[in-house]
Structures are given as structure tokens and as C-alpha cells.
Chain A
Amino acid sequence: MSGLFQSLTSAANALDAQRMGLDVVGQNMANVNTPGYARRKLILGELPPTDPNNAGRGVEVLMIQAQRDMFIENRLRQEQQGASFSNAQMQSLMYVQAGIGLPGGGLDATMNGLFDSFSAFATDVTSTPVRDNVVAQGRNVAQTFNTIAQRITSARVDADGRVRAAVDEINSLASQIAALNGRIATANNADVETLRDQRNVALSRLAELAGVNVAETGSGSVTVSLGSGTPLVVEATVFHLDMSPSTPSAMGALSIGGQDITSQFDEGMIGALLQLRDTVLPGYMTRLDQLAYDVATQVNAVHSAGFDANGNAAGDFFVQPGAVAGAAAAMAVDPGLAANSLLLAGSSTGAAGDNQTAQALAALRDARVMSGGTATAGEAWGQFVYHVGADIAVAQSQSETHDQVVLQLQRLRDSASGVSMDEEAAWLMKYQRAYEANARFFTTVNSAIDTLMQMVM
């Protein structure tokens, strides 16, 4: 009699275990689209017999295991940092590139327009409309320099603003991770896999924003550090990232606990934005300023050596920049000349029809007097455009490579942690059949007990 009751208990355990299996399948199917979810697997264990003459006590649920591969998770986070870096850099540079224009349609075209007007001026230095055209073309060149400088400045300010927004998000994610660390550490064997899933999602986003190193401790918590090891999260403690106010002359600096760590960010979206803000875009601006300074200085040198239409010694054509820095943004045609084109110098002798100064101005187009005497104005602009284009092309190439690697790693992660509906359907059938079989076994044992009871009664 005790054997039949034990069989009944064994069947009941088995029914519980198979139902648990169905629950796990249901949980997996329900979370097939949940970001960060790692599929669960039911681990069953045989209950051994207590008596050598007994077949066994059935089955028990040992655990519900989340299927994770920590190595792949870490690799994925690292690649996401690189992908995020390249994408952020590419997007910002695209904005700068949009202001450059196509060959023959950007600053090169406006500078050619100015030199063309000097050539036309040389053929007829006495014509007022031709003089007006030279001044208009000079104004066009100055405005084009202004616009490109403004676009670079705007991209820089935009990068600074995006860093500031990212800092807020990083602090929010760090707080979230610290809270999850605390709950995981104090869970006391309760199911922590859901918390780990949530933490992985937060860590993944954090990796996109900034280059982070993640190390798991024995308690299940993770330690998150930035750049060269500055801690952001330790156990349940958060070290908040701060950003100082930005001013026109100084962009905001990043710090933790008062220590400036701006230079430690060299990965993730923030790394890219800081590199753009502090290195790449200022580099472009320096090149543009140098070109603007050279154009203004060279044109002024020739122009001021000539004589205007009234036979008087001429002044500058452009407002002479005081320094290279800021030359592009401040470039403008001399106000006096802009108001009166008779002040334009075409003559080098003072004679009304002499065109030697006009010819010298036109000859500047092919003169290698820019960039320290190594390039023409067109070549210097070509070098600028080349650098911007090459930086974007490199970022694009790196972005494509990172995207491919991230995709491969996501597939690898899915091969370990992803939910397959076919696989779950197979498990569903298996648990369903097992449940049906155990239910039949339960019914049979129950029937045997009934038969035995009727004999007693």
C-alpha cells in the first residue's frame, strides 16, 4: 500500500515538474521580444529511491537557469562602444560636410567668382559696374567663410550639448545599475535573473554612451568604471558624473568627485563627441581660419599697394584680421570699400586706365601664397575638404565594420540566450506529452488504489 501511495506522490511531483516546464516555455515565449531577456531553461533532477527495492521517487525541479554567455556579453558591450563612437562622429561630421558643398559649388566657387571678377576688372578698370561686381564677389567670399565657420561652431556647440544630455543619462543608468546591484546582492537565493536582464540592458546602453569596464563580483554585483579606471558604480554606490557649465571660450569639463576626467573618455558616444568638440572641429576651424587669414592678408597686400579710381593710395580690400584665430568668422569686406567701389584699386601707378594692380589681384588665384606659401587658395580649400571627407569616410568604414561585428555578436548572444519559437514549441510538446503521460500514470495508480480499497471494503 505504501508503494502505491509513493507512486502517487511520485506522479504528483512529476506533474508539478512538467507544469513548471510548461511555465518556463510560456515565460520564454512571452519574453521573445523583451530586450535583454535571456531564455530560461528548466533543470530537472531525478529523485533517487530511498529503498533498494524501489524504482525511485520521481523528479524534482533543481533550478530555472538563465542561459547567458558572459564572455559574449562583454565583447558585445565593447563593440557597441566602438559602433556608437563611429556613428556619433559620422553624424556630426555629416552636418559639417553639408556646409562644404560640392566641388565647384562651395567656397572654391565663391573664391573663383572673386578671382574671375578681378580678371574682368583688369580688362576694364574704369567700369563702375565691374567695380561693383568685384565688391559683391568679395562680400560673397566673406559670407561663405562666415557661414562655414558658423556651421563648425554650431557643430561644436551641438556636440557639447549632446555630451551634457548624455551625462544626465549616464547618471540615471548608473543609479539604476547600483539599485539593481543592491537588490541582486540581497536577494537571498530568490530569482535574480530578471534583475540581471534589466541590469544588462542598462549596462548595454551605458556602454553605448561611454567606454565602460564591467567586472562582476562574488555577490553578483557589478563594478562599473570609466576610461582609465575611475569608478562609476561600486556595489550599490554611485559616483555621479558632473559637467561644468560651457562658455563661448571654454567647453564644459567632465568630473567625478571634483576630479577632471574629460580626457579619460575615448570610447562610446561621449568619447566621439568630446573628440569632435575638443580636437576634430577645432582642427577644422584652425584650417579654415588660416585660409581666411591668408586670403584676406594676401589680397590686402596687393590691393593696398595700388591706387583707387580717384588716384589715391588704396586701403585694404578685406578687414585685416588681427590674428589667425577667428579670421573666418570675422571676415568682411572693408566697410569703406563696400560702400564705395571707387575705392577699389586697379592701378599701380595712379593712371586711370592702368590695370596692373587688378592683374596682380587676379594672379593671386594661381599664386602659391596660402598655407605658408605651399598652396593656392583653391588647393588650400581642397585640402580642407579632403580632411573632412576623409574623416567621414573613415568613420563610415569603421561604423560599417562595427555594425557587422555587433550583428555577429548579437547572433552569437542569441545562439546562447535568444528565444527560438520552434525550440519552445518543441519543448511545449515535450512537456505537454510528459504531463499527459504522468497524469495517465497518476490515474492508473489511483485506479489501482481504488481496486485495492474495494477489496478491503
Chain B
Amino acid sequence: MRLIFDVVRDGLFSINSIAEQMAEARTQVTTGRRINQASDDPLGTALAIGEHGTIATIDAYTGTANAASSRLAAADTVLTHFIDKLTAAITTTAGARGSTATAEIRTAASQQLRGLRDSLLGDINAKFGGTFLFSGSETTTAAYAQVGGAWTYQGDAVAVQLEVENGRRVGVTIDGQALAQGSDTTDLFTALDDLATAVDNNDQPAIQAGMDALERAFDRAVSAQSRVGIDERGVDDATARLSALRLAAEARRSELEDANLAEAIAKMNEADTSYRAALGAVSTAERLSLLDYLK
């Protein structure tokens, strides 16, 4: 068979083929990515899109968990103060109760109870991030205020919840009425007002009723703080799980998308050597012919 080497067609075909391989390897090395366009690995690309979605979902949950954690920590702190003040109110009431308390002691106690009432009011109307913590889902309205001379709950009973991981929701606002009133007929602030008046008047049955109301409020506050604590721990657990899930998803994404640099560099060097060899082979292909020997 006659063999004819066409330097343009055959030579360039070889050079171009190797140049393509080198360009591909070089792109992988410079970008660090195995997939630089969908056609590089269509299935891998589709799967990588899924992994990016998974990572984005995890990141969104993580962001939500962080927000929930901050709000729960704020609520926890406020409840601690709330409980401390209730304890102080109970102690003050105990000191003003009985026949040994003088009029001066009772006056001081009633003033202290009114001060604690204001302080507790401040706690239950605490804001975090611009929204009220104890107004349920009415987060732009203070939980308690005096309306027409009576303490009135202005929020609702619906706790705002955040989904911190798939299917797990935690409440990040608290029903202030459930905390300050519960199943009592009057709320904590009215009870404190009545108690202060009873202390002033040395009305022992009323003082006892006020004392009982404070103790029930204390129990409700401790219970609420306990629930917040449980949620905080749950959020921490969720955050840890999300972190582990993200690492796994990132590993899968990397396996799909990222280039094996050692392999890519080896391929690039191999292609470079082949490219030089092809250039050399093509350039020498027609260096000599029979015509050179004709005299």
C-alpha cells in the first residue's frame, strides 16, 4: 500500500489531538476542577448540583440554628433574671408576713415589691434583635402594658418556631401570658400590685394569696427556663449533626467536582511530552526526500 504522510492533515491531526489532551489537563490543574463544563461528566454534573443543593440546605439550617440559639440564649438569660426577681419578691414577702413585721418593714417591703414588679415587667418585655421575646407571634408588640389601668397581655399564645434541621422545630418566642399568668385568674403584675397593697394594709390572708401566686409564677418560670434549656441543647445537637452532614456532603461534592491534582499534573506532563514529540516528529517528517539525492 502506498503510504503518504500529509504534514498538514496528518501532522496537525496528531498535534491537535495531543494539544486537546494537554489543554484539558492544564484546565484541571489551573482550576482544580474535574468538571469544567456539563459535557465533561453529565451525570457527575447533575449529582454535583444535587450536592450543592444539599450543602445550601445544611447551611441554611445552620444559619437558622445559630439564630435560634442566639434567641434561646437571650430568653434563657432573661428567664434567669426573671426567676431571681421572683425569688427576691418571695423573700421580701416572707419578711413582711406575720405579726413581727413592723409598719416600716411592710412599707419598705411593699415599695420593694413594686420595684420588682417594674423590673419583672422589663424582663417580660425584653427585645432581642428588635423583636419581643415573650409576645408569642406578635413580636412587634410588648408583651404586657397597662391598658385602662389594668395589666394586659398584648401578645398571643402562638410561639414563633424555627426549623433548625429537617423536621425539628424549636420555639424562639415564649407565650408571655402562660409565663406571667398561667391558669391563674390574674397575671403576675396584678398579683404583685395586690400583694404590695396587702403588705401596706397588713392583710395577712391577701399576703398569703400573693405569696402563693408568686410561688406559682416561680414554678412556671423555672419550667419555661427548663424548656428553653432543652431546646438550646437540641439546637446544639442539631448544629453538631449539621456540621457532620456538611462535611460528608462537601466530601461527596469534592469527589464529583474536584480534580485529583497529582493525577492531573501527571497527565499534563505526559501530554506535554507527547506534544513535544509530535512537534518534533512532524517537523522532521519531510526533512529529507528522494529529491535531495537527485543530481
A→B interface (CB under 8 Å): 93-94, 97-98, 100, 102-104, 108-109, 112, 115-116, 119-120, 122-124, 126-127, 347, 349, 351-355, 359, 362-363, 365-366, 376, 378-379, 381-383, 385-390, 392-393, 396, 403, 407, 410-411, 414-416, 418-423, 425-426, 428-429
Contacts and interface: CB of A to CB of B under 8 A. Distances in A.
A278 B29 CA distance: 39
Interface in B123-143: 129-132, 135-141
B73 interface: no
A378 B42 contact: no
B129 A124 contact: yes
Contacts of B291: 421-422, 425
Contacts of A387: 42
Given A103-B35, A126-B139, A390 B42 contact: yes
Contact of A429 (B129, B131, B294): B294
A353 B135 contact: yes
B39 A97 contact: yes
A425 B10 CA distance: 22
A382 B49 contact: yes
Contact of A422 (B40, B56, B141, B289): B289
B60 interface: yes
Given A112-B56, A418-B2, A382 B131 contact: no
A115 B50 contact: no
Given A389-B37, A426-B290, A366 B57 contact: yes
Contacts, number: 186
A376 B158 contact: no
Interface in B51-84: 51-53, 56-57, 59-61, 63-64, 67-68
A359 B171 CA distance: 13
Interface of B: 1-4, 6, 9-10, 13, 33, 35-43, 45-53, 56-57, 59-61, 63-64, 67-68, 129-132, 135-141, 156, 158, 160-163, 166, 173, 253, 256-257, 286, 289-291, 294
Contact of A352 (B51, B52, B141): B141
Contacts of B289: 421-422, 425
30 contacts: A98-B37, A102-B37, A103-B256, A112-B52, A115-B60, A116-B60, A119-B60, A119-B61, A122-B64, A123-B67, A124-B129, A124-B131, A127-B130, A355-B162, A378-B50, A385-B45, A386-B43, A386-B45, A388-B42, A389-B46, A390-B42, A393-B39, A415-B2, A416-B2, A418-B4, A418-B6, A421-B286, A421-B291, A422-B289, A422-B290
Contact of A349 (B36, B41, B68, B137): B137
B140 A383 contact: no
B46 A421 contact: no
Contacts of B166: 366
Given A393-B42, A411-B4, A351 B158 contact: yes
Contact of B67 (A93, A97, A124, A353): A124
Given A359-B163, A388-B38, A378 B49 contact: yes
Nearest to A309: B140
Nearest to A98: B37
